[in-house]
Chain A
Amino acid sequence: MGRTLAEKVWEHHVVRHAEGEPDLLYIDLHLLHEVTSPQAFDGLRLAGRTVRRPDLTLGTEDHNVPTTPGPIVDPVSLTQVETMRKNCAEFGVRLFPMGDAEQGIVHIIGPQLGLTQPGMTIVCGDSHTSTHGAFGALAFGIGTSEVEHVLATQTLPLKPFKTMAINVDGELPDGVTAKDIILAVIAEIGTGGGQGYVLEYRGEAIRALSMEARMTVCNMSIEAGARAGMIAPDDTTFDYLKGRDYAPKGADWDAAVAAWRELETDDDATYDAEIDIDASQLSPYVTWGTNPGQGLPLSANVPDPEMLSDDGERTAAERAIAYMGLTPGAPLRDISVDTVFLGSCTNGRIEDLRAAAEIVKGRKVAGSVRMLVVPGSAKVRLQAESEGLDKVFTDAGAEWRLAGCSMCLGMNPDQLAPGERSASTSNRNFEGRQGKGGRTHLVSPLVAAATAIRGTLSSPADLSK
């Protein structure tokens, strides 16, 4: 019987298989950041162990870094970053620190360097590692104990995943993006719907996406409960990779591409589950609640919990609406925001900044709104500046910042104040995620830009009216 993309990559990495035990899987690339690694290095030190493959390990500083020029002010953040530098130096791990030309959000820099390649296994102590699946890599987030395990052994014991195909056919309407696809998928299957599965995004609407847009889709697989999301590599993938720093060169390139072409799911393979989405029926999505599954088309109204038949869902919706300070039945388009955040590993790449700049150009951010534009990496920032995008944003009244995770999770000073409301291109609208008491609506870069101009949740189409 045929095999799926996920099954092929898995099989290529099995070091050891024994009945009744998890498979031992080899890890091709281990990415580190300062938040989830200190206790792992400590574990190695206590046990007198070393990093088995420093050449397959790479660190960056992203979660704590300030996005305004200058040193880290918070002493606790500073300790964490200094600990990262000390650990990487002691164990021989390459690190891209603040200020380095290659520094950036861990899931932006891997693909940017060409380190993320099809058919690889990639892990990081960060749930958005699923991003790298856009290249046909099996990539997933791990906890700190597992970080220690990979540092020490370059392997992980894992139980096989189930597979789920997400077929997205049809053509996306204008103004509808990868972010809207994934928000619609999560609204459809729920935050637990992907649990235990690797999602494989398929269909013509996925094939038509750029690599950066595919990364946005795979990035949020975890918000549907799936540890990994994948897209089979194709010419779009190879074109993106070719010539990047760590991509294979010369004859190696040809050998690699030949191997990568074999990864596609076989025609006679079967999935454990399948869902179908019609891209032509999608419209810009926004979340109204406090988990990423609580999303609706922008044209909809805040749901009325009374209309929900399931007790659990009703209670969750009531809680979410109360936390978000919304009125059931009110149009989502009437919700005014205080802050617009454009950035994160979900939507902090150059195409995201270009798309938003296109909308903002020649317009002004509403007086009541602060807009933060945070490139995903130092390279993205430089690229944007070379295209004059920074000017477009600052002329409109937005703030142009340095690279990092920033307001996606507010570990640095970029936070919402209690009760403050944001339209955010990030990935999580959990209670307090962007600052204690903060209220988050997840949106695409296009909706973020239009919302910044109008001051209420809007799509670019609302601007031309």
Chain B
Amino acid sequence: MEQFTKHTGVGVPLRRSNVDTDQIIPAVYLKRVTRSGFEDGLFSAWRSDDTFVLNNPDFAQGSVLVAGPDFGTGSSREHAVWALMDYGFRVVLSSRFADIFRGNSGKSGLLTAQLRQEDIELIWKLLENEPGMELTVDLEQRTVTAGEHVFAFEVDDYTRWRLLEGLDDVSLTLRHADEITNFESTRPDWKPAVEPA
């Protein structure tokens, strides 16, 4: 996983609440068995609408998505994170994220920064008044800078540490392989197991 310390890029105002992962990438795009190339599915239904924000050339190169509350609800598909990242997004700002989406983001290196809804509203206005405006997201300081405004955001300490270090979860856990083996020896015999293939 790539390290994340600070990112500066064009902010994209997405004035919608409850953006579920079916909207981020519809199921029809989930049939691939690779891990890249999902950018064409990102917001696919909305991209056929000329007024959709990513169809505005000022925002098309955006890398910081500024979304309404309850972003990433619904299906667990990690393809939603891959589609955002394949398109070029590195950060999503929202006042509330769905749990599975937020977890998936942290695993792939997409920063989900939680701001107060009133700050999101202000950033929306700034971006709409000045399309193409860049936002700077500083993970060390936990701040978003938009022009002369600085906003604090929340991200949990552990996810922040992993993103700053670019650490992969599996290797972190395998440092504790002995503890896993010890735990396994204490599991009751009657717990179910299947016959492997």
Contact = CB atoms under 8 A, between A and B. Distances in A.
B100 A127 contact: yes
Contacts of A191: 18, 70, 73
A261 interface: no
B57 interface: no
B68 A312 contact: yes
Interface string B9-44: 000000111101011001110111111000000000
Interface residues of B, number: 61
A187 interface: no
Contact of A411 (B30, B32, B99, B157): B30
B197 A92 contact: yes
B103 interface: yes
B96 interface: yes
A413 B18 CA distance: 27
B74 A409 contact: no
Contact of B170 (A47, A143, A253, A433): A47
Nearest to B104: A143
Contact of A56 (B73, B108, B193): B193
B76 A248 contact: no
B103 A146 contact: yes
Contact of B173 (A28, A54, A115, A157): A157
B188 A255 contact: yes
Contacts of B74: 127, 222-223, 428, 430
Contacts of A141: 76, 100
Nearest to A29: B192
B176 A77 contact: no
Q: Which of A38, A79, A255, A432 lies at the interface centre, i.e. has the most chain B CB atoms within 10 A of its CB?
A: A432
Nearest to A125: B76
A152 interface: yes
Interface in B60-107: 68-70, 73-79, 81, 96, 98-100, 103-104, 107
Contacts of B33: 38-39, 42, 79-80, 83
A159 B27 contact: no
A409 B169 contact: no
A149 B103 CA distance: 13
Contact of B22 (A47, A56, A222, A433): A433
Given A20-B157, A145-B107, A436 B26 contact: yes
Interface in A232-254: 246-248, 252-253
Contacts of A39: 33-35, 78
A35 B30 contact: yes
B194 to A, nearest CB: 5
A49 B18 CA distance: 37
Given A142-B76, A411-B31, A94 B195 contact: yes
B150 interface: no
A227 B16 CA distance: 23
A22 interface: yes
A309 B101 CA distance: 29
Given A142-B76, A436-B45, A225 B70 contact: yes
Given A24-B173, A39-B33, A411 B197 contact: no
A256 B188 CA distance: 9
Contacts of B180: 15, 24, 26, 52, 153-155
A153 B108 contact: no
B104 A145 contact: yes
Given A20-B157, A312-B17, A432 B174 contact: no
A338 interface: no
Interface of A: 15-16, 20-22, 24, 26, 28-29, 35-36, 38-39, 42-43, 47, 49, 52, 54-58, 63-64, 74, 76-77, 79-80, 83, 88-89, 92-95, 114-115, 117, 120, 125-127, 141-146, 148-149, 152-155, 157, 159, 191-192, 195-196, 222-223, 225, 227, 246-248, 252-253, 255-256, 259, 291, 312, 315-316, 319, 409-411, 428, 430-433, 436
Given A20-B157, A36-B77, A315-B15, 17 more contacts: A15-B183, A28-B187, A39-B78, A43-B170, A54-B197, A55-B194, A115-B194, A117-B191, A141-B100, A143-B100, A146-B107, A191-B70, A192-B73, A225-B99, A253-B190, A256-B188, A431-B45
27 contacts: A26-B183, A35-B77, A42-B35, A47-B170, A54-B197, A55-B196, A63-B30, A80-B31, A92-B196, A125-B76, A126-B75, A127-B74, A142-B76, A152-B173, A153-B173, A153-B177, A196-B99, A223-B74, A246-B192, A247-B192, A255-B188, A312-B68, A316-B16, A411-B30, A430-B74, A431-B45, A432-B22
